[in-house]
Structure 1
Amino acid sequence: MSTKPWILGLTGGIGSGKSAVAQHFIDLGIHAVDADHAARWVVEPGKPALAQIVAHFGSEVLQADGQLNRAALRQKIFSDPQQRRWLEALLHPLIAQEIAHSLAQAQSPYAILVSPLLIESGQYKLAQRILVVDAPEQLQIQRTMSRDQSSQEQVEAILKVQASRERRLSQAHDVLVNDRDLNWLRSEAQRLHDFYLTLRGGQA
Structure 2
Amino acid sequence: MEPGQTRAFSVGLTGGIGCGKTTVADMFGALGASLVDTDAIAHALTAPHGAAMPALLAAFGPDFATPEGALDRAKMRELVFADPGARARLEAILHPLIREATAAAAAVATGPYVIFVVPLLIESGTWRERVTRVLAVDCPEAVQVARVMARNHLTQAQVRAIMAAQVTRAQRLAAADDVVVNDDGIAALRPQVERLHAFYLAEAARLASSSMQGL
Same fold judged by TM-score > 0.5?
A: yes
What is the CA distance between 1:42 and its match in structure 2? 2.2
Conserved 8 A contact 2:37-2:116? yes
Other structure's SS at 1:74 match: helix
| 1:153 counterpart residue number | 157
Q: Distance in 1 between matches of 2:32 and 2:51?
A: 34
Q: Which moved more, 1:146-155 or 1:99-108?
A: 146-155
Judge conservation of contact 1:5–1:111 (CA < 8 Å) in 2.
no
Partners of 2:11 and 2:101 lie apart in 1 by 16
**Partner of 1:141 in structure 2?**
145
Q: Look up the equivalent residue of 1:41 and give its one-letter code.
A: A
Q: How big is the shift at 1:126? A: 2.4
- Equivalent pair of 1:45/1:66 in contact (CA under 8 Å): yes
Alignment RMSD: 1.8
Moved more, 4-13 or 25-34: 4-13
C-alpha distance in 2, partners of 1:5/1:108? Answer: 12
Tell me whether 183-192 or 144-153 shows the greater mean CA deviation. Answer: 144-153
Cα offsets for 1:157-194 (capped at 9, x unmatched): 11111111122112111111222221110111001101
2:69 maps to 66
- Give the match for residue 167 of structure 1: 171
| Number of residue equivalences | 199
Partner of 1:124: 128
Aligned to 2:184, the other structure's residue is in SS state coil
2-side partners of 1:180 and 1:75: how far apart?
Answer: 32
Q: 2:33 aligns with which of 27, 30, 33?
A: 30
1:9 paired residue number: 12
Query: What is the SS of the residue equivalent to 2:67?
Result: coil
What residue ranges of structure 2 are gaps of 5+ in the alignment? 1-6, 209-215
% of aligned pairs identical?
44
The two structures have a TM-score, normalised by structure 1, of 0.90
Greater per-residue helix proportion: 2
Which SS does the other structure have where 2:36 is aligned?
strand
